[in-house]
Structure 1
Amino acid sequence: MRPSTILDQLREQIATIEGKAVAGTVLPFGLGAVDRHLPGGGLPCGALHELAGSNVLADDAAATVFLAGILARTQGPVFWCLRWRDLFAPALDLAGLTPDRVIYVEAGSDVNVLTAMEECLRHSGLGGVVGEVKALSTTASKRLQLAAEKSGVPAFVFRRALPLDAPASGSAAVTRWRVRAHPSEALDIPSLARPRWEVALERVRGGESHLWIMEGCDATGRLALPAELVDRPDRQEAQAAA
């Protein structure tokens, strides 16, 4: 048996033991610089993902649109569970997540949001399930992960107003993202350029954590890398090669 084949088998066994095997389909971002850091080349659909901005409103807004862009590229209705409805729906529409696809669940508390998420995840064929919460226990995250695995529906826990220095909590989420607003490109005319975000993949099972500067979602939920960064290695890769 070739050494490369043995290594591939060992990687698969380790991934299975650690719960890192990618079950079902994945949702690629369509950017090689991002997808190669994710197991299977994209976000696992039947899995739980964690997302946060910060306690700065602009960062939470950026994280919301980032999430809307991901969901815009799925098929089927999306359940968005939150304590009360303070979401600016037109912003989701601009990222490609149209109003006719979103069903809002006003649950009133974190406990009820997590309960609603778990109930929604019992049904297959959904585009995704989102839950906005302040805190997420390890037990709750495991229940959501198991529910997502059974239905094959992607689940997203959005940690609203999470400070940058907040200690990392134990979670069964397959990926954890942090999205922050970033200065846009300076134009020579009095106008606004495409929004830019600092997107950090803080944790990923079976992949690599990383940080990118990205152009915000277009009307179909697609992201892009700034033109000046496309053809050169980013800072992290340059440091690793040094």
Structure 2
Amino acid sequence: MAALRLALARIEGRSDGGVQAASMERARLFSLGAADVDAFLGGGLSRASLHEVLAPRGADWSAASGFALALALRAAAGRPVLWARQDFLEAEAGRLNGVGLAEFGVDPAVFSLVLGRDAQAVLRAAVDAARCRSLGAAMIEISGCPRALDLTATLRLARAAERSGVTLFLLRIRVGEATRAPPSAAVSRWRAHAQNSRPLFANAPGAPNFSVTLLRHRGGAADRSWRLEWQRDRGFLREIAEARNAPLSGLVPAFPGDGAAVSATPRRRAG
């Protein structure tokens, strides 16, 4: 926690004196970039809120992480992003790779990683991050449905986000199909599955793809699925029509890390 507070202090120190005013002036919604999805959401997702992304299986970790990170980058709009995760996921799901993050479009200068020994430690870090007005977004990665991550914990996160203007993304691993997701104060809840990328010239791996389903959206319609592609150079998601797909043979992880989240034939990084 001491290291986290030092990192947050440095982030605050890099910001100008008008952070609070700037946070209040941020657009209420952020778009994903895919016109059909944004229209279905009523213009986009809300900032200063808590959103959830579920990975039903371990094999979907890369897709859920990539989709949540894409949303965080959209919400942050160039401001610092913090990722808090349980430390055992470094070995089990894969260690975050600096080169892979950069290829995904993450600026290392505005990215911070925090590791917690358990869900409770990660949640404490997340609450501290949610109170840091200089952050643009924070990702909170937790495996399963630990007791510490109950409705009260998500309410605490949601209220902190509303007060500070920071947009939070709760990434739940192995939750969403076989395991029923518990009640939550999240404004939206998504489920993500791994998806093959579309090949580039000479059958090279293309941009990261995600198959996502909107399970819940407060105040709006839900239960709708899309296949989305992350356009790193443009910094937005776009919808991919199924009829246009020409998938590569074999599974290509949607998000690069050190240590495969799925068992697949080694290929060039898709980011």
TM range (shorter): 0.7 to 0.9
Q: Is 1:224 aligned to residue 238 of structure 2?
A: yes
CA distance in 1, matches of 2:219, 2:171: 22
Q: Is 1:81 aligned to residue 84 of structure 2?
A: yes
The structure 1 residue matched to 2:57, chosen from 55, 58, 69, is 55
Which string of whole-angstrom CA distances, capped at 9 and with x for unpartnered residues, describes residues 138-184 of structure 1? 11000000000000110111112336221131000000111112234
Q: Summarize the Cα distance change of 1:132–1:195 in structure 2 as closer, same or farther, 3 Å threshold.
A: closer
Larger Rg: 1
CA distance in 1, matches of 2:229, 2:138: 25
Q: Is 1:31 aligned to residue 40 of structure 2?
A: no
Extract unaligned runs of 5+ from structure 2: 1-25, 245-271
Letter of the 2:136 counterpart: G
CA distance in 2, matches of 1:195, 1:149: 31
Partner of 1:131: 140
Counterpart mapping for 1:30-179 below 5 A:
30-39=33-42, 41-57=43-59, 59-73=60-74, 74=76, 75-84=78-87, 85=90, 86-134=95-143, 135=145, 136-162=149-175, 164-179=177-192
Letter of the 1:31 counterpart: A
3-state SS of paired residue (1:36): helix
Q: Summarize the Cα distance change of 1:194–1:121 in structure 2 as closer, same or farther, 3 Å threshold.
A: closer
Report if aligned partners of 1:215, 1:225 keep a CA contact under 8 Å in 2.
yes
Extract unaligned runs of 5+ from structure 1: 1-22, 231-242
Report if aligned partners of 2:72, 2:138 keep a CA contact under 8 Å in 1.
no
3-state SS of paired residue (2:207): coil
CA distance in 1, matches of 2:64, 2:231: 11
CA distance in 2, matches of 1:188, 1:76: 34
Which string of whole-angstrom CA distances, capped at 9 and with x for unpartnered residues, describes residues 194-221 of structure 1? 3432111111101221110122342343
Letter of the 2:127 counterpart: E
Letter of the 1:103 counterpart: S
Partner of 2:210: 197
CA distance in 1, matches of 2:231, 2:178: 27
Report if aligned partners of 2:176, 2:191 keep a CA contact under 8 Å in 1.
no
3-state SS of paired residue (1:224): strand
3-state SS of paired residue (2:170): strand
Report if aligned partners of 1:71, 1:128 keep a CA contact under 8 Å in 2.
yes
CA distance in 2, matches of 1:120, 1:165: 31
TM-score by length of 2: 0.69
